Every structure is written in C-alpha cells, then in structure tokens.
Amino acid sequence: MKLARTHEILTTKVSVIKVGGNGKKHKERIEGYEYEPPTLGFPYTVHLGKGNVFKTSPVWDVKEVNDAFMVKTANSVYRLNYLKKQEL
C-alpha cells in the first residue's frame, strides 16, 4: 500500500464586521477562516464551519487602517481583523 503525502492547508482566523453599504450600518461580527486574503476583482470568502460560507461581492479596494483592514466591495465596506493564534 502506498500512502500519498498530504498537503498542509494554511488558513487564518479572521473577524469581519460590515461597517457600511446599501444605506445601512451593520455591526454583526462573524468569525471564520479565510481561504486567501482579499484580492481585487474577486469575492472575499470566509469559511464559517459546518458547511457555511460568507462571500462578498468582488473586492474593489483594500486599505490598512491601524490594526485592521478596510475592504471595500461593490456593495459594502467591511472591517477585517486577523486574529492571533491561541497557544496550545
């Protein structure tokens, strides 16, 4: 029996808060694991667990502000924080 080498999947835990868009302000915070950092022209995706996924419209702009990133999409603006890994 040959065993194939598995690949390590690098994910980063994030916190996302919608701070503007569509004429409303939202302060609901979601936490999950991003697949990749926000990339201009592509939706930003966060895996929430148990098969649930949060996905934005395409990203238009990303700016670093203090300890967070402001991610502007076609429909909204989000505050993105990278959460520190907890020590085992």
For the chain, which residues make up each domain, given as ranges?
A: 10-24+35-51+73-79
Tokens of 44: 């930003």
- Residue written as tokens 């203090």? 66
Paired with 41 in beta bridges are none
The per-residue pLDDT for 50 is: 86
The candidate with the shortest Cα–Cα distance to 47, out of 71, 14, 70, is: 14
Q: What's the first-to-final CA gap in the chain, in angstroms?
A: 34
**What are 79's two structure tokens?**
């505050």
pTM of this prediction exceeds 0.85: no
What is the residue-level pLDDT of the chain in tens, covering all 88 positions? Answer: 566 666 556 678 999 999 987 666 566 899 999 988 999 999 999 999 888 999 999 999 999 998 999 999 988 999 999 997 654 3
CA-to-CA distance for 4 and 52, rounded, in angstroms? 29
Burial of 70 (0-12, 13-18, 19+ CB in 10 A): middle
Pair 73, 18: CB distance under 8 Å: no
